[in-house]
Chain A
Amino acid sequence: NAGVMQNPRHLVRRRGQEARLRCSPMKGHSHVYWYRQLPEEGLKFMVYLQKENIIDESGMPKERFSAEFPKEGPSILRIQQVVRGDSAAYFCASSPPGLNNGPLHFGNGTRLTVT
């Protein structure tokens, strides 16, 4: 998992604050996927991005959540006005360009706690 870098590893926010989660994909990878894992639940797809484009955001809540993957720099998952229900582990995965199947490579996640 060392290839996909996520930070911070742990993030504590009070209700109403903003959370910013960063993901740097593996070298040579230009596709990023964000997943959320709630306690005792499976990993749920949130959003798929390529450089400067959101391709599929069907799993992302319509309000308070946004994601970006700029031309330069890491992908950012932003949660505004966090609520207790946002507490979860957020995982980023990456894949290389031009590949339509094959495994995703995951980072070690950011564990968000909302107090």
Chain B
Amino acid sequence: EDQVTQSPEALRLQEGESSSLNCSYTVSGLRGLFWYRQDPGKGPEFLFTLYSAGEEKEKERLKATLTKKESFLHITAPKPEDSATYLCAVQIGGGYQKVTFGIGTKLQVIP
């Protein structure tokens, strides 16, 4: 069965304290891995897509990387506005964009 596991479930950082979130997956035929950010009461907001091992994407203080078994979301010098739940999702074969989500990492950045 395809599985997506995110860790830690919750993370509390001081402003400026860099860290990484992990997403490990056991799927056959990965077509893409996605990172989303979700704020309370809102829908997931797309951040990154990664398609192959070794690929990296960056946006402001966030950097996503992908290996054959896991992905990391690195947060450099976070600010309070980075507080949110970060979701990882994988797309497998099938010819359309159905994705399976992990449960997420709830990040809190303290000023």
Which residues of A come within 8 Å of B, CB atoms?
A: 1, 4, 6, 31, 33, 35, 41-45, 48, 55-56, 91, 93, 95, 99-109
Contacts and interface: CB of A to CB of B under 8 A. Distances in A.
B59 interface: no
Interface footprint category on B: 20 to 34
A108 B96 contact: no
Interface of B: 4, 31-32, 34, 36, 41-46, 49, 51, 87, 89, 91, 94-104
Contacts of B36: 106
B99 A107 contact: no
Given A42-B103, A103-B49, A109 B97 contact: no
B41 A43 contact: no
Interface centre among A4, A56, A108 (most CB of B within 10 A): A108
A93 B42 CA distance: 13
29 contacts: A1-B45, A6-B43, A31-B97, A33-B98, A35-B101, A42-B4, A42-B103, A43-B89, A44-B101, A45-B99, A48-B96, A55-B96, A56-B96, A93-B43, A99-B97, A100-B95, A100-B96, A101-B32, A102-B32, A102-B49, A103-B34, A103-B46, A104-B34, A107-B43, A108-B41, A108-B42, A108-B43, A109-B42, A109-B43
